[in-house]
A and B are shown apart, each in its own frame.
Chain A
């Protein structure tokens, strides 16, 4: 999650704006960010150690991927004003992006101790805990972020499901429940449905998986790959006869496509794959309906 840049105080902003107007024409040739960094740098020569200015410049550096300069500024901002939590949070993001997970977690713990409802800090801590190989600790943070977010994104549900599975490989049902919770809240989001489908198949819930494919397929213009996926689920569950029915349906769907879509390399390859499955020449394996 991206933190909002802190606002400059009025005097600083006016000074920076004045300077920007005086220098705008030559500086804008290099882009507004570069210009703004130069303005902030010049202002910092007048106000050395101004924590807000250092925070602003550090965030500009961070957003452009210059993590070394960002770290220097953000550390200086914190040294100047240790209670400036936005600087601590941004420094945690820099540490995360530099794979310094322990440092990032220490910074985030401090921020959350001061601001327990800071969603960005909590989501970042969940992410860092996951990256640091501490999935069990990430789960409560994901739970809290999802509960407190007004518009949670699918990525958060997927990350939580992965954390659940990383923490306990026997937790497939719990991971699946979490994804279904996301689908109930966000709607039939494809990325959630596809992961849920994989988990259902892995946990042997074949009928649920088939129902999910049917639900997904109902909204699709092209059904041939989803029918093949249906066949694969059945085949992997040792229901070969039913699988072949689905492969034939997939071939039929392929034949029903307009010629411009039927006569493509991808369609020809799919036809061959279906033929091989019908002939029983392919090993059991999970397949994705995606090209």
Chain B
């Protein structure tokens, strides 16, 4: 047989084994999970060639035989699984209409749907701030979390902005998000907020650019909360926790703006036990940014502090998570500090202790999201790099120039918050208890 015949035979054997030309399709991104509700989940992925994306799913790898397919031939695949049961693990595989499967239905390709809103059960949240350096630092912080995650997986994770350096291009998102967090993205839904570096190629007013193209976020309160009408800011519920994502970068930050009006109503409406807010620009930082300098970051830190903290505190917020400064800075239990650091009054520090159960004790609050009971503010922008700074803002109980990420465990009326270093070190911890 000639070499030409060998080639043709080989090609035919390959086609036979793989099922057709469609098998040449390659998975370029994902799968990753978005927009979870107690009865649905969005699965997204990208292929090098267009096709009709197909998902098969079920309660076990063997029974993953339900099928759903999106319309049209696309490279960016977005498929929503519906009529799911709450708090239930589903296994899924993604592929093409020609039954070419790009992933197996296996434990690493599975997710658990959220519980019904309001359900009281343990909730674990992972949060990374300014992670997107695609560096060893970022991988180390991730690996330290993975060690903990293996023992008790997180239920959801938050990205606090600057998710892809240096300017939020699609290629940078690939390197800093999908290449780094691929294993967790396929199992746990991620909820991002826009950072200034992501915004360099994203445009909130027209909701366009890689950040908005990549993420599928709620605009109509699909996952709980009220309709914001935009992916730039939104809210959602998970169990007994209400999450609020604000856009501190590229949306009107005035008190009478649409985001402020929506936030007031959203907070007034929640009946969840806990309220966690997150956005990119920290109200209290003396790290690589200075929240006292109005010119720093175009006044965004000042505006968020002056205009949005009063709304959040009136709405009973418990935790406010931010990034931007590449450090870890964690406040006391605070209320009413809307000015410069020099204007911090003792009366604004509701609890001057560490919040640690094994030291001065936890931070206490009344149940019911009553206004102005105190909140803890955390700047956790060191999940990809550290950049120093004076680190001496008086509102903060601790300020560290250390790499790490946040782990938040909510169980009933108690929340334990830990800052985990890049080698798994416990660098800070505190507890909030409600009665």
- B 266-284 binary contact with A (CB < 8 Å = 1; else 0): 1111110100000000000
- A 274-287 binary contact with B (CB < 8 Å = 1; else 0): 00000000000000
Determine the chain A residues whose CB is within 8 A of the CB of B250 once the complex forms. Answer: 2
The verdict on A13 contacting chain B, using a C-beta distance below 8 Å, is no
**Option from B197, B258, B270, B368 in Cβ contact (under 8 Å) with A154:** B258
Interface hub of B199, B202, B220, B258 (most chain A Cβ within 10 A): B258
Contact B209 A190 (CB under 8 A): no
- B 148-188 binary contact with A (CB < 8 Å = 1; else 0): 00000000000000000111000000000000000000000
The verdict on A261 contacting chain B, using a C-beta distance below 8 Å, is yes
The bracket for how many chain A residues form the interface is 35 or more
Within 8 A of A (CB), among B198-239: 199-209, 212, 219-221, 226-230, 232
A30-B387 contact in complex given A1-B205, A153-B204, A290-B265, C-beta closer than 8 Å? yes
Determine the chain A residues whose CB is within 8 A of the CB of B226 once the complex forms. Answer: 190, 219-220
Q: Which residue of A lies closest to B385 (CB)?
A: A28
Q: Which residue of B lies closest to A225 (CB)?
A: B268
Contact B227 A123 (CB under 8 A): no
The verdict on B12 contacting chain A, using a C-beta distance below 8 Å, is no
The verdict on A289 contacting chain B, using a C-beta distance below 8 Å, is yes
A182 vs B227: C-alpha distance in the bound complex, in angstroms?
13
- A 189-218 binary contact with B (CB < 8 Å = 1; else 0): 111101100000000000000000000000
Binds A, one of B16-24, B39-47, B294-302, B340-348: B294-302
Contact B203 A65 (CB under 8 A): no
Q: Which residue of B lies closest to A259 (CB)?
A: B368
Shortest C-beta distance, A152 to chain B (Å), equals 8
The verdict on B26 contacting chain A, using a C-beta distance below 8 Å, is no
Determine the chain B residues whose CB is within 8 A of the CB of A101 once the complex forms. Answer: none
Shortest C-beta distance, B153 to chain A (Å), equals 29
Q: Which residue of A lies closest to B196 (CB)?
A: A63
Interface hub of B212, B230, B265, B387 (most chain A Cβ within 10 A): B265
A36-B166 contact in complex given A2-B202, A153-B207, A187-B229, C-beta closer than 8 Å? yes
Shortest C-beta distance, A267 to chain B (Å), equals 8
Determine the chain B residues whose CB is within 8 A of the CB of A3 once the complex forms. Answer: 203
- A 79-113 binary contact with B (CB < 8 Å = 1; else 0): 00000000000000000010000000000000000
A191-B261 contact in complex given A260-B368, A264-B366, C-beta closer than 8 Å? yes
Shortest C-beta distance, A89 to chain B (Å), equals 12
A263 vs B369: C-alpha distance in the bound complex, in angstroms?
10
The verdict on B140 contacting chain A, using a C-beta distance below 8 Å, is no
**Option from A123, A195, A266 in Cβ contact (under 8 Å) with B205:** A123
A65-B206 contact in complex given A30-B387, A188-B227, C-beta closer than 8 Å? no
The verdict on B56 contacting chain A, using a C-beta distance below 8 Å, is no
Determine the chain A residues whose CB is within 8 A of the CB of B133 once the complex forms. Answer: 32
Within 8 A of A (CB), among B341-388: 366-372, 385, 387-388
A182 vs B199: C-alpha distance in the bound complex, in angstroms?
25
Determine the chain A residues whose CB is within 8 A of the CB of B30 once the complex forms. Answer: none
A191-B370 contact in complex given A151-B207, A290-B265, C-beta closer than 8 Å? no
Interface hub of B268, B297, B299 (most chain A Cβ within 10 A): B268
The verdict on B396 contacting chain A, using a C-beta distance below 8 Å, is no
Within 8 A of A (CB), among B376-412: 385, 387-388
A59 vs B258: C-alpha distance in the bound complex, in angstroms?
27
Determine the chain A residues whose CB is within 8 A of the CB of B261 once the complex forms. Answer: 190-191, 194-195, 290
A191 vs B200: C-alpha distance in the bound complex, in angstroms?
26
Contact A65 B299 (CB under 8 A): yes
The verdict on A222 contacting chain B, using a C-beta distance below 8 Å, is yes
The verdict on B251 contacting chain A, using a C-beta distance below 8 Å, is yes
**Option from B196, B209, B229, B251 in Cβ contact (under 8 Å) with A189:** B229
Interface residues of B (CB under 8 A from A): 133, 165-167, 196-197, 199-209, 212, 219-221, 226-230, 232, 250-252, 257-259, 261-262, 264-271, 273, 288, 295-299, 314-315, 326, 366-372, 385, 387-388
Q: Could you jot down 10 A-B contacts, CB within 8 Å? A: A2-B200, A2-B205, A32-B166, A64-B196, A65-B297, A189-B220, A191-B259, A222-B269, A225-B268, A260-B367
Given contacts A4-B209, A191-B258, A264-B366, 10 further A-B contacts (CB under 8 A): A1-B204, A2-B205, A120-B206, A155-B251, A191-B259, A220-B226, A263-B368, A264-B368, A291-B264, A291-B267
